[in-house]
A and B are shown apart, each in its own frame.
Chain A
Amino acid sequence: MSEQITVFIVDDDEEVRDSLKLLIESVGLETETFDSAQSYLDSFDRSRAGCLILDVRMKGMSGLTLQEQLSKEPICPPIIIITGHGDVQMAVRAVKAGASEFLEKPFNEQELLDSIHVAIEKDAEQRGRASRLAEIQAKVDNLTDREKEVMELIVTGMQNKNIASELHISQSTVEAHRSKVMDKMQARTLSDLMRMIISLRPM
Chain B
Amino acid sequence: MIRIVSLLWLLLLSMTNSLAYAEDPFIKIGVLSHRGDTFTLNSWGPTARYLTNKLPDYDFEIIPLDFDEVDSAVKNDEVDFILVNPGIYVNLEYKYRVSRLGTMYNLRGDDAYKVFGGVIFTRKDREDIQTLEDLHGKSFMAVDATSLGGFQMAWRELQAKGINPYEDFSKLEFGGIHDHVVRSVINGEIDAGTVRTDILERMSNTAGLDLTQVRIINPQTDSNFPFRLSTRLYPEWPFSKLQKTSDELAKKVALALFAMPKEHPAALAGKYAVWDLPLDYQQVHELFQELRLPPYDQIGKFTVKDVVKKYWYWGVAAAIVLLGMGVITSAVVRRNKRLKRIQLRMERHYERLLDSVGDGIYGVDLNGNCTFANKATENITGWKTAQLVGNNQHTILHHSHADGTHYPVEECPVYKTTNDSLPRFIDDDIFWKADGSTISVEYSCTPIKGPRNTTIGSAVVFRDITQRELVKKKTIEHQLQLFHVARLSTLGEMASGIAHELNQPLTVINNYSRACIRMLGSKDSTDESMQDQCSEVMEKISKQAERAGAVIKQIRHFVNKDLPDKKPVKVSEMLDVVLELTHMEIERKMVTLQLDIDDSVEWVLAQDTQIEQVIINLVRNAVEAMEDTPEGQRNLIIKTENQQDGKLKISISDSGSGIDKEVVEQLFDPFITTKEQGMGLGLSISQGIIETHDDKIIIEDNVEGGVCFSFKLPIVKSPKIEKENNIRKTKNKEVA
Question: Could you list which residues of chain A lie within 8 angstroms of chain B, going by C-beta atoms?
Answer: 13, 15-16, 18-20, 22-23, 25-27, 57, 59, 84-86, 105-107, 109
Contact = CB atoms under 8 A, between A and B. Distances in A.
B496 A85 contact: yes
A27 B507 contact: no
Contacts of B512: 19, 22-23
16 contacts: A15-B504, A15-B540, A16-B504, A16-B507, A19-B508, A22-B512, A23-B514, A26-B515, A57-B588, A84-B500, A84-B503, A85-B500, A105-B503, A106-B506, A107-B507, A109-B510
Interface in B589-603: 590
Across the A-B interface, the 8 shortest Cβ-Cβ residue pairs: A19-B511, A86-B496, A109-B514, A26-B518, A85-B499, A84-B500, A23-B515, A106-B507
Interface string B652-669: 000000000000000000
Contacts of A27: 518
Given A15-B504, A59-B587, A107 B510 contact: yes
Contacts of B505: 15
Nearest to A103: B507
Interface size class of B (residues with CB under 8 A): 20 to 34
A86 B585 CA distance: 13
Tell me whether chain A's interface is mostly helix, strand or loop, or mixed.
Answer: loop
A84 to B, nearest CB: 4
Given A23-B511, A23-B518, 19 more contacts: A15-B505, A16-B504, A16-B511, A18-B540, A19-B540, A22-B511, A22-B512, A22-B537, A23-B512, A23-B514, A23-B515, A25-B515, A26-B518, A26-B522, A84-B499, A86-B496, A86-B499, A105-B503, A106-B509
Nearest to A108: B510
B519 interface: yes
Contacts of B52: none
Nearest to B544: A15
Interface string B513-553: 01100110010000000000000010010001000000000
Nearest to A13: B504
A137 to B, nearest CB: 43
Nearest to B502: A85
A116 to B, nearest CB: 13
Contacts of A26: 514-515, 518-519, 522
Nearest to B496: A86
B500 A86 contact: yes
Contacts of A84: 499-500, 503-504
A107 B522 CA distance: 23
A19 B512 CA distance: 5
A26 B518 CA distance: 6
Interface residue SS majority, chain B: helix
Contacts of A59: 587, 590
A119 to B, nearest CB: 18
A20 B511 contact: yes
B244 to A, nearest CB: 106
B590 A16 contact: no
Nearest to B497: A86
- Centre residue among B510, B519, B540, B587 by max chain A CB count within 10 A: B510
Contacts of A18: 540
B519 A85 contact: no
Nearest to B587: A59
B538 to A, nearest CB: 12
B394 to A, nearest CB: 67
B101 to A, nearest CB: 100
Contacts of A15: 504-505, 508, 540, 544
Contacts of B515: 19, 22-23, 25-26
Given A19-B515, A26-B515, A105 B590 contact: no
Contact of A106 (B510, B519, B537): B510
Nearest to A109: B514
Contacts of A13: 504, 508
Nearest to A24: B515
Contacts of A25: 515
Contact of A105 (B507, B518, B544): B507
Contacts of A85: 496, 499-500, 503
Contacts of B514: 23, 26, 109
Interface in B472-506: 496, 499-500, 503-506
A109 B511 contact: yes
Contacts of B500: 84-86
Nearest to A12: B587
A29 to B, nearest CB: 12
A80 B240 CA distance: 117
A57 B506 CA distance: 17
Given A23-B514, A59-B587, A16 B508 contact: yes
Contacts of B508: 13, 15-16, 19
Contacts of B499: 84-86
A18 B190 CA distance: 98
Interface string B580-617: 00000001101000000000000000000000000000
B349 to A, nearest CB: 80
B593 to A, nearest CB: 13
Contacts of B496: 85-86
B441 to A, nearest CB: 57
Chain A CB within 10 Å, residue with most, of B504, B507, B590? B507
B673 to A, nearest CB: 22
A25 B522 CA distance: 12
Contacts of A107: 507, 510
A16 B500 CA distance: 13
Contacts of A57: 588
A25 B516 CA distance: 11
B671 to A, nearest CB: 27
Contacts of B518: 23, 26-27
A152 to B, nearest CB: 52
A35 to B, nearest CB: 15
B495 to A, nearest CB: 8
A19 B509 CA distance: 8
A26 B544 CA distance: 20
Contacts of B587: 59
A22 B515 CA distance: 6
Contacts of A23: 511-512, 514-515, 518
B537 A105 contact: no
Nearest to A15: B508
A84 B507 CA distance: 10
A85 B66 CA distance: 94
A73 B496 CA distance: 34
A103 B512 CA distance: 17
A55 B685 CA distance: 37
B507 A19 contact: yes
B493 to A, nearest CB: 12
A85 B498 CA distance: 9
Nearest to B512: A19
Contacts of B544: 15
Contact of B504 (A20, A22, A86, A105): A105
A109 B537 CA distance: 16
A85 B501 CA distance: 10
B500 to A, nearest CB: 4
Interface string B438-482: 000000000000000000000000000000000000000000000
A109 B505 CA distance: 15
A157 B511 CA distance: 58
Q: Which has the most chain A C-beta neighbours within 10 Å: B507, B511, B515, B588? A: B511
Contacts of B506: 105-106
A59 B519 CA distance: 32
B188 to A, nearest CB: 86
Nearest to A84: B500
B541 to A, nearest CB: 9
Contacts of B510: 106-107, 109
Nearest to A22: B515
A16 B505 CA distance: 8
